[in-house]
Homo-oligomer: A and B are copies of this chain.
Amino acid sequence: MPLESDSEPSRDWKQTVNQLRAIMRPQSIAVIGASRNPKKEGFRLTQNLLEFGFEKIYPINPSAHEILGLPAYRTIMDVPDPVDLVTIIIPPEAVPKVLKQCADKGVNAAVIRTEGFAEVGVAGKKLQEALIEIIKETNIRVIGPNTTGLLNTSPPVFTTSTFVDPKNLRTGVVGWIAQTGMFAGAILRHIMSSERFGISKVLGLGNMIDIDAADGLYYLAEDAQTRVIAMYLEGIKEGPRFVHAAQVATTRKPVIVLKGGKTPEGAAAAVSHTASLAGNHQIFTTAAKQAGITLVDDFRELINVTKAFAFQPLPPTSPKRRCRVGVCGFSGAINILATDSIAQLGLQLATFSEATSEKLMEVFTDDVKAMNPIDTYPDSYRVGEERVFQVAIRAILEEEQVDAVLISVYAVEEMDFHPVSITNAISNRKDKPILVTVVGTKSEVELWRNFLETRRIPIYEFPSEAVKVLAKMDAYARYKTWLEQNREEP
């Protein structure tokens, strides 16, 4: 099934996309290794499917007649109906035989949750090779092994044993591809409780013996519900195919990648996690950038950049011009640090036209504080925080020489300043990205963040974080403009 790296990489991808589409919307799922014991993964996995409202579930267990109220079957062969997808959570030694049975039964795809394959050593490697043989000999597609598998928020499918309350799972535009179980566990739980963007799909890849990161990219590139693709990746199976998939995806939507195993030490650790060969990081970085991928350094930045892409438009920049940022903030120090970050990351501090300066002088008494960056602090004492910010935000948004806006506010109990002033000032303008930083009393910051992120304005703590995000948006915007311009030329 894997393509040779010198073949035309685009040949099979449309077929894979169609297969993944079916895999992501199965009509029926068998859980091989389903259990009556609430402490076992096979119990939670079955329970999750039930809680997600999935209807045709077939628990497979040689010694149970009924699991969670569902009739159980000894083997997959005993299921009387057709089965679209199986999830396998049984000891590794038993997996090859069972996978073969699934293929014989005509199952389209298997998510192999089981660990203990190439990531643990020689014996596991042999078992993994046996699985690869079965894939080659049959038509079954495999996700994993050593993976949490699939999550689709609509229609709901979830092949993972971690506890997730579907009521708290927000459907949205971010599709995740992850070579780690963290995305179905800790990170998903973080997103559900702390973030306000929604998820379209999660594809957990594990050891990638069949479906790999490139397949995931092709699939999410074509998925209409997904508008932003976020990835955590350790290894790449075939460089050229991955680059092609990224090129296909980045013409349509941003692709943000966090790569584990950047250093030889990290790469060594990756071998025992997903049996990945992390490869030369310099080569990966160069290829990824050429393919328009947005590279980030850690999970925090992955989330920071993802939410900005999910919430805000791209800056109207071009390959010839870096993003010109309009800044207004409550503190001279905050503005100076924002300006430092803007200059350090190669963005530009926007120059205001005279018309903008005039608008600002409605509330600002000192023309220096009415320049970019705008220091709202001195005049907020006189005319109120709300008025100063509203005048400043409107003026910046109307300024033609501004491509993106950075607003910094503080939130403390005694202030007569509600985030609705910000959204009122923004009104319905959607032609340039707006990022906001908030610092102050915890509960008030939380209130601001909740109010604004629910209205698709991403919140950060301090400007350096937000400017880093803007720089990534700018780079992707310029890549897209470059693509469009080159397409128009003969």
Residues in A lying within 8 Å of B, measured CB to CB: 41, 115, 120-121, 162-163, 178-182, 185-187, 189-190, 192-194, 232, 234, 258, 260-266, 268-270, 272-274, 297-300, 330-337, 339-344, 349, 366, 368-369, 371, 373, 375, 377-378, 381, 410, 412-414, 439-443, 445, 461-465
Contacts and interface: CB of A to CB of B under 8 A. Distances in A.
B464 A272 contact: no
A442 B194 contact: yes
A349 B265 contact: yes
A264 B339 CA distance: 9
Contacts of A266: 336-337, 339-340, 343
A263 B343 contact: yes
A266 B327 CA distance: 12
Contact of A189 (B343, B381, B441): B441
Contacts of A462: 298-300
A120 B263 CA distance: 49
Nearest to A367: B121
B182 A334 contact: yes
Contact of A330 (B186, B371, B413, B441): B186
A340 B464 contact: no
Nearest to A278: B336
A370 to B, nearest CB: 10
A312 to B, nearest CB: 22
A333 B297 contact: no
Contact of A331 (B181, B298, B412, B414): B181
Given A189-B440, A272-B368, A336 B181 contact: no
A269 B373 contact: yes
A163 to B, nearest CB: 5
A120 B185 CA distance: 53
Nearest to A264: B343
Contacts of A377: 181
A439 to B, nearest CB: 5
B378 A340 contact: no
A378 B273 contact: no
Contact of A263 (B179, B186, B265, B340): B340
A439 B190 contact: yes
